[in-house]
Structure 1
Amino acid sequence: MFQIQTPNLILLELCDDDASFILNLLNDADFLQNIGDRGVRNLEQARTYIRNGPVTMYRQHNVGLYKVSLKEGTAIGICGLIKRAGLSDVDLGFAFLPQYRGMGYALEAAQGVIQYAQEWLGLERIAAIILPGNTPSVRLLKKIGFKAEGRITLPGEHKELLLMIWKISAHGHSPREEK
């Protein structure tokens, strides 16, 4: 069974049992504003979202968004890697319930995912795309070594996004480790 453990968190693949959690997360006001409306309004739509999104991505690309839980089991957010049309690299995605923001959990989960991507998937470069005005996410990405590389509009979309890149340096270290 897939699992990433960090000092305070456990990241696991999403499944149908996570539908209630996903329904709440995807309908959070900040999620709707900064990530987008996924049209998920009931538990059956949440299960379909999980199956057609993360579960399909796990099978097809060996990456996806993972449920982030506290060690005692409370689901607090999602974090993982996404393979999108219009991006040559996988991109880091994350979203947390409001009551768990600003506590360092997104940073810890993102660092765990990057370490997994580097050590187990052999990735040397990861993208992140965000709305330029999403200051907390931009700040978090910079903290873990992502650098702005320009703007991008994904196929079929109309919003311009900030493209940030994390990559291993010529010395084999992440940008965060070089400081």
Structure 2
Amino acid sequence: MIVLQTERLNLRHFTADDKAFVLALYQSPGFLNYIGDRGIHSEADALAYITTRLIPSYQNLGFGLYLVERKEDLTPVGTCGLVKRDTLEQVDLGYGFAEAYFGQGFAYEACAAVIDYAAEEHGLSSLLAIVQSDNAASITLLNKLKFHYLRCQQVLTLQVNIDVYRLSAMK
């Protein structure tokens, strides 16, 4: 199901058919380095992640992470959406893109659409975003999206400190 469309992108629900893309994205070096190992090491793991984490989020919360694909050829390029984490007090903007599509503006385009969607469809007036402090590209993106640094927070499960950013006064 397509949730959002932009000039160049569709953002849609993940399905079982997306397991190969999920495996490739979640095992890419950049994803592992900046987002972490989600335990997806096979297509079976990817399918389990889709069916036990992504799809239930759509059903239980009305939002989640979406597959981002190019409109022109339906090629998957990344993931972007809204996440409710136990470790954060508010919903956050989550995203990750395949390295082959870096520098093409897809992340900004998808994130901007999700921010509008969060405000218009879910009535959210602010969002959080988390990022490792050495992820310069992601910090640049968050700044371009008008997020502001809020705090550093330790994530014990990942044994890493993350920077938390906030976007307030959304549409």
TM-score by length of 1: 0.91
Q: How many Å apart are 1:131 and its aligned residue?
A: 0.5
Is 2:150 aligned against 1:149?
yes
Q: How many Å apart are 1:153 and its aligned residue?
A: 2.0
Q: How many equivalent residue pairs?
A: 170
Partner residue in 1 for 2:168: 167
Q: How many Å apart are 1:156 and its aligned residue?
A: 3.5
Partner residue in 2 for 1:26: 26
In structure 1, runs of 5+ residues without a counterpart are: 175-179
Give the counterpart letter for 1:25 in structure 2.
L
Q: How many Å apart are 1:154 and its aligned residue?
A: 3.5
Q: Deviations over 1:31-51 (max 9, x none)?
A: 000000112111111000111
Partner residue in 1 for 2:134: 133
Q: Which moved more, 1:150-159 or 1:63-72?
A: 150-159
Partner residue in 1 for 2:52: 52
Q: Deviations over 1:11-63 (max 9, x none)?
A: 00101010000000000000000000112111111000111221121122112
Runs of 4 or more, structure 1, over 4 Å off, are none
Partner residue in 1 for 2:121: 120
8 Å CA contact retained: 1:85, 1:155: no
Q: Distance in 2 between matches of 1:110 and 1:66?
A: 11
8 Å CA contact retained: 1:85, 1:154: no
8 Å CA contact retained: 2:36, 2:158: no
* Identity score, percent: 35
Please report the RMSD computed on the Cα atoms of aligned residues, expressed in angstroms: 1.2
8 Å CA contact retained: 2:2, 2:10: no
